Structure 1
Amino acid sequence: MHSTGIALAVLFLIALGLMYRRDCKALRAERGKLFDACLALFDHHRLTQDAAAWPVLVGGYDGYEVHIAPLVDDVTFRKVPSLWLLVTVKRELPMRGAVDLLARAQNTEFYSPADSLPVRVVTPQEWPGQTTIKADRPAAELPLSVLDPHVRRFFGDPRAKEMLVTRHGVRMVYQAQGADRGEYLVLRRAVFRQATLPATLVESLLDQAVQVCADVIRGGVHGQA
């Protein structure tokens, strides 16, 4: 009787292991489709995906090197998690330091460098409200006038979260999707159903980041017009 119980327990554990592997494989396949609709946008690309994690794309777009990474933000209690899209366009820019613009800051943005930047810059009145500006130098040394139209356009979208401009390029953070509310409230699981990025969205974010780079380059050493 004792040996029968042990055998049943072993079989149960094996079944659990097989179910776990099956679920992980299915989750990996589902998440692996994230970029399927927008791959044609890139001159070349490479996708990497660790286990059942979200895939990361590195490629070329309009002559720029780009890096696009999804990131799940579930650190804020009682808030439905978000799937953020970190879109980075790499280009050496003629500016010193870094400036970070963050919308609706809650001090839980672990992906943002804002907390490490020592200078708080006053937000221009014409810019969208609830935008926090942090930098590593005074406003006079930042390309704020060049960034003005881009800030108004990007943060005019309520899903826009962050714009980071450094001498190495531009990164934009955008909410690609919110988690399934019912699933999260009941089971506290961040489930993103059928998460596939529309080509129009990815193209728009890339074009905006590329244009920021181009305008800062045209603006000169401090990015001033």
Structure 2
Amino acid sequence: MERFDMQLMGIALAVLFLATLGLMHWRDRNALRAERGKLFDACLALFEQHRLTQDAVAWPALAGRYGGHEVHIEPLVDDVAFRKVPSLWLLVTVKRTLPMPGAIDLLARAQNTEFYSPADGLPVRVTTPHAWPRPITIKADRPAAELPLAVLDPHVKRFFADPRAKEMLVTRHGVRMVYQAHAADRGDYLVLRRAVFREARLPAALVKSVLDQAMHVCTDMMKGGVHGQA
């Protein structure tokens, strides 16, 4: 009987231990979700309307209207490159129908690990204009003579002058800019190989700046201009 009681006690302790672990895991997940959910708190007033979506403990994405146009902002963690501190990229998209015959993608400091970029699917490699910041890789679906390089010239020079600017994509559906919002904590990554972004928040000035630049590209594309080399 005593042995049976000991077995029951052991089972009860095991169940209690597993329940405690489950509770801790649930608590930690909720805390992580809540912390990541604050990413856009400081910039929501910028938008005429907005909707936040967040799956489980993922970073939230924002869809809304800015300057009268539909926009989408998606945070994305890039921890693919080995021995490189992970980045939290912002994929900032202004959705607007543009008089653009195809697609052109400009990618800074290409590492061939940019899984979020459509560059690999574009067949034409375009020579980077001499006056543009380097290194920028240009891919498109048509020759340079058919691309609005002259229209894009001032926007490329301004956006990629910032070392945190990563990509500019222009298609008939609008403009997307990719920008580094945060770098992961170096200590956590080097020791534990974890991508930890402590108290990550998006300053309103940063979000406004990237959105405005994308909007200006759209505006100049709508006005049209001389196509060809910048």
Q: TM-score with structure 2 length normalisation?
A: 0.95
Report the alpha carbon displacement of residue 223 of structure 1 after superposing the two structures with TM. Answer: 9.2
Aligned to 1:39: 44
Report the alpha carbon displacement of residue 12 of structure 1 after superposing the two structures with TM. Answer: 1.1
Report the alpha carbon displacement of residue 3 of structure 1 after superposing the two structures with TM. Answer: 2.8
Q: Does 1:108 align with 2:113?
A: yes
Structure 2 spans left out of the alignment, 5+ residues: 1-5
Q: Does 1:188 align with 2:168?
A: no
Identity, in percent, stands at 80
Q: Does 1:86 align with 2:87?
A: no
The 2-side partners of 1:75 and 1:158 are apart by 20
In structure 2, the CA distance between the partners of 1:224 and 1:43, relative to structure 1 (3 Å rule), is: farther
Written as runs of structure 1 = structure 2, the 5 A alignment for 1:58-69 is 58-69=63-74
The 2-side partners of 1:224 and 1:93 are apart by 20
Aligned to 2:3: none
Q: Does the Cα contact within 8 Å between 1:95 and 1:223 map onto a contact in 2?
A: no
Written as runs of structure 1 = structure 2, the 5 A alignment for 1:194-209 is 194-209=199-214
Q: Does the Cα contact within 8 Å between 1:100 and 1:114 map onto a contact in 2?
A: yes
Return the index of the structure with the highest Cα Rg.
2
Aligned to 2:175: 170
Aligned to 2:132: 127
Structure 1 spans left out of the alignment, 5+ residues: none
Q: Which one-letter code corresponds to 1:120 in the other structure? A: R
String of CA shifts for 1:24-43, please: whole Å, max 9, x gaps.
10001101110000000000
Written as runs of structure 1 = structure 2, the 5 A alignment for 1:15-26 is 15-26=20-31
Q: Does the Cα contact within 8 Å between 2:149 and 2:227 map onto a contact in 1?
A: no
Q: Which one-letter code corresponds to 2:9 in the other structure? A: T
Q: Does the Cα contact within 8 Å between 1:87 and 1:173 map onto a contact in 2?
A: yes
In structure 2, the CA distance between the partners of 1:124 and 1:221, relative to structure 1 (3 Å rule), is: closer
What's the C-alpha RMSD, in Å, of the aligned pairs? 1.5
Report the alpha carbon displacement of residue 220 of structure 1 after superposing the two structures with TM. Answer: 5.7
Report the alpha carbon displacement of residue 95 of structure 1 after superposing the two structures with TM. Answer: 1.1
- 144, 152, 175: which one pairs with 1:139? 144
**The residue matched to 1:4 in structure 2 has which SS?**
helix
String of CA shifts for 1:90-114, please: whole Å, max 9, x gaps.
0000011100000000000000000
**The residue matched to 2:156 in structure 1 has which SS?**
helix
In structure 2, the CA distance between the partners of 1:46 and 1:155, relative to structure 1 (3 Å rule), is: same
Q: Tell me the number of residue pairs that the alignment of Structure 1 and Structure 2 aligns.
A: 225
- 190, 207, 221: which one pairs with 1:216? 221
**The residue matched to 2:138 in structure 1 has which SS?**
strand
Q: Does the Cα contact within 8 Å between 1:94 and 1:222 map onto a contact in 2?
A: no
Aligned to 2:33: 28
